[in-house]
Structures are given as structure tokens and as C-alpha cells.
């Protein structure tokens, strides 16, 4: 499946998974063969996207394919992919529970095995920047670091992966973790898994879990 088809399908999946509403959020996918980054267009409903609506750009921001305006957050996607050459996919979402902590500007710690294995350590909050601004792109890269996800203050979340499937897993686990954390805080103080145990579980998930790993 080519990158354009993957993004069209991924846009519908993001919308119908409750990870965003209307035309908010955006996705990108890097082609490992050409180095081009394919992005969803700006302000177009995901249910009606076609391959012709997908835009392709070089890492320097030069658009080389497509006639649509790319997502307003193109620079954030490219900045992340420039900083993290091991990544292929970036998904920016607007899910409710993750946004609760984004507007609180409160990081989400590893409070479950799933969070430790998939997200690694604490999910940080990027400093506020206007949508589409260079400041937001820089802040997102800084908050993401070498991790899998970050929150954007008063905005939403950014999740990354070596594939779209991996990035979607991060999105899903982040939102579930945010919901559990919010509910637990309403009752008491959640216990956070220690850094050494998080590191052990993350290593297991990345290097040993699955039929194709030892």
C-alpha cells in the first residue's frame, strides 16, 4: 500500500476512533525510499479524502506533489521527522482525556503496565505555541525528546512511531492512560511505576515481545 492510500485510510481511522473531531488533527508518513513526507491537507473532512488530496514535501518544506494546502502543522511534522530519523509516522490528535491534561498543562506519568511498555516514561507537555507556528514545532520536538508522545499545552497530543500502526498504538494507549489517570485522581493519588521498572518493561516491549523477537 502506498503512502497516500495509507494516509487516506489513517485519516478515517483517526476520526472514527474518537481521536479527533471534524477536520482537526493531522497525519504524516515518511517514505523510506524517497525520503518524501506525505501529509494530510488542511481543513478537509477525513471521510471524503482521496489520494489526490494528499500532499508530499521534502524535509526542507518544499511541496513537490499535490495541489492542496498541506496541514497547518506541516512544520511540526517535518521538525519532528528531521530530529528523529528513525521515525516514519507522526499523528497529531485532539482526544478528550488527553486534552484534559493538555489544558491543565499536567504531564501524564506511567501509571500502568501498558503505559510503561508503550509510552515509556512520563508524557511531557510542550509549552504553548500558536497553531502552525514555528514556536509550536520547536516546543513539540523539545517535549517529545526521544519519547513516543507529548501533549501540546491547551491543544492536543502528538504521537510518533516507526510505522502508522505503531503511532496509532501510542495514540490509543495515551488516551486510555489519560482516562485512567483522570479517574484515579478523582478518587485519590495514583501510584506511579518506578523509572527502573518502566525501563525494564519498555525494553521487553521493544526488543523481546512478539513472535518475531527473541
Angle between helices 96-104 and 164-187 (to 10 degrees): 70
Contact partners, residue 123, CB within 8 Å, separation at least 6: 107, 108, 109, 147, 149, 150, 151, 174, 177
Q: How many CB atoms lie within 10 A of CB 86?
A: 9
Supply the pLDDT for residue 210.
65
* Angstrom distance (rounded) from CA 141 to CA 88: 15
- pLDDT, position 80: 98
* Residue boundaries of the structural domains of the chain: 3-207
The pLDDT tens digits of the residues spanning 113-148 come to: 999 999 999 999 999 999 999 999 999 999 999 999
Domain formed by 3-207, architecture:
3-Layer(aba) Sandwich (3.40)
Task: Please give the share of the chain, as a percent, with pLDDT higher than 90.
Answer: 90
- 75 as an active site residue: the answer is no
The pLDDT, as a whole number, for residue 213 is 67
Cell 519532528 belongs to 80
pLDDT digits (tens, 9 = 90+) for 42-89: 999 999 999 999 999 999 999 999 999 999 999 999 999 999 999 999
Catalytic residue among 65, 73, 79, 189: 73
Cβ distance 102 to 156 under 8 Å?
A: yes
Amino acid at each position: 500500500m502506498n503512502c497516500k492510500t495509507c494516509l487516506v485510510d489513517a485519516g478515517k481511522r483517526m476520526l472514527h476512533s474518537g481521536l479527533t473531531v471534524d477536520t482537526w488533527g493531522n497525519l504524516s508518513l515518511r517514505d523510506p525510499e524517497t525520503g518524501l513526507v506525505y501529509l494530510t491537507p488542511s481543513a478537509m473532512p477525513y471521510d471524503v479524502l482521496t489520494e489526490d488530496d494528499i500532499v508530499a514535501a521534502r524535509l526542507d518544506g518544499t511541496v513537490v506533489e499535490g495541489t492542496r494546502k498541506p496541514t497547518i502543522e506541516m512544520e511540526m511534522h517535518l521538525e519532528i521527522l528531521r530530529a528523529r530519523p528513525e521515525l516514519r509516522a507522526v499523528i497529531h490528535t485532539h482526544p478528550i482525556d488527553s486534552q484534559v491534561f493538555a489544558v491543565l498543562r499536567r504531564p501524564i506519568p506511567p501509571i500502568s503496565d501498558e503505559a510503561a511498555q508503550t509510552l515509556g516514561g512520563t508524557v511531557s507537555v510542550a509549552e504553548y505555541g500558536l497553531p502552525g507556528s514555528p514556536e509550536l514545532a520547536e516546543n513539540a520536538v523539545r517535549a517529545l525528546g526521544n519519547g513516543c508522545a507529548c501533549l501540546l499545552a491547551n491543544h492536543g497530543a502528538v504521537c510518533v512511531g516507526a510505522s502508522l500502526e505503531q503511532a496509532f498504538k501510542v495514540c490509543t494507549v495515551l488516551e486510555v492512560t489519560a482516562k485512567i489517570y483522570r479517574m484515579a485522581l478523582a478518587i485519590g493519588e495514583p501510584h506511579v511505576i518506578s523509572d527502573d521498572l518502566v525501563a525494564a518493561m519498555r525494553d521487553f516491549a521493544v526488543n523481546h515481545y512478539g513472535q518475531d523477537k527473541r
